[in-house]
Amino acid sequence: MTTRRPFLATIVAAAIAFGIHVAAPLRGQNLSGFTLSEDYVVEIDGKPTATANVYWSQPARAFLILAKELPTPLLVEPVSRQVRGVPLVKLATRSDGSVGILEGAALTPKAVIDTTQGLARFAVDGRTIQLVEKPPLVGWQTPESLSSYSSKYSERSAAYTPQAAAVASLRGRNDDVRLTVFFGSWCPFCQQKVPTAMRLARELAGSNVKIDFYGLPRSFGGDAQAKKYGIKSVPTGVVFVGGKEVGRVSADGWASVEATLARIVSR
- Which DSSP symbol is given to 16? H
Q: Report the distance separating Cα 108 and Cα 43, nearest Å.
A: 22
Instruction: State the SS3 of 97-134.
Output: CCEEECCCCCCEEEEECECCCCCEEEEECCEEEEEEEC
Residue 15, pLDDT > 80, answer: no
Domains delineated in the chain: 5-133 (no CATH), 139-265 (3.40.30.10)
CA distance 89 to 9: 10
84-108 pLDDT, tens per residue? Answer: 999 999 999 999 889 999 988 999 9
pLDDT tens string 185-224: 999 999 999 999 999 999 999 999 999 999 999 999 999 9
| Confidence category of residue 48, pLDDT binned at 50, 70, 90 | very high
Residue 117 binned pLDDT confidence (cut-offs 50, 70, 90): confident
State how far the Cα of 36 lies from the Cα of 99, in Å rounded to an integer.
8
DSSP for 149-214? H-HHHHHHHHH----HHHHHHHHT--S-EEEEEEE-TT-HHHHHHHHHHHHHHHHTTTSSEEEEEE
**How far apart are the C-alpha atoms of 239 and 209, rounded to whole Å?**
10
**In the beta sheet, which residues pair with residue 82?**
77, 112
Percent of the chain with pLDDT over 70: 89
Q: H or E segment at 227?
A: helix 224-229
pLDDT band at 11 (very low <50, low <70, confident <90, very high): very low
Mean pLDDT of 66-77: 94
**What integer best gives the mean pLDDT of the chain?**
89
Note whether 265 and 241 are within 8 A (CB): yes
Lowest mean pLDDT among 3-7, 51-55, 257-261: 3-7
Q: Listing from the earlier edge strand, what are the strands of the sheet with 139-141?
A: 139-141, 209-215, 177-183, 236-241, 244-249
Query: Whole-model pTM?
Result: 0.76
| Pairing status of strand 177-183 against strand 209-215 | parallel
Query: By C-alpha distance, which of 33, 9, 29 is closest to 99?
Result: 33
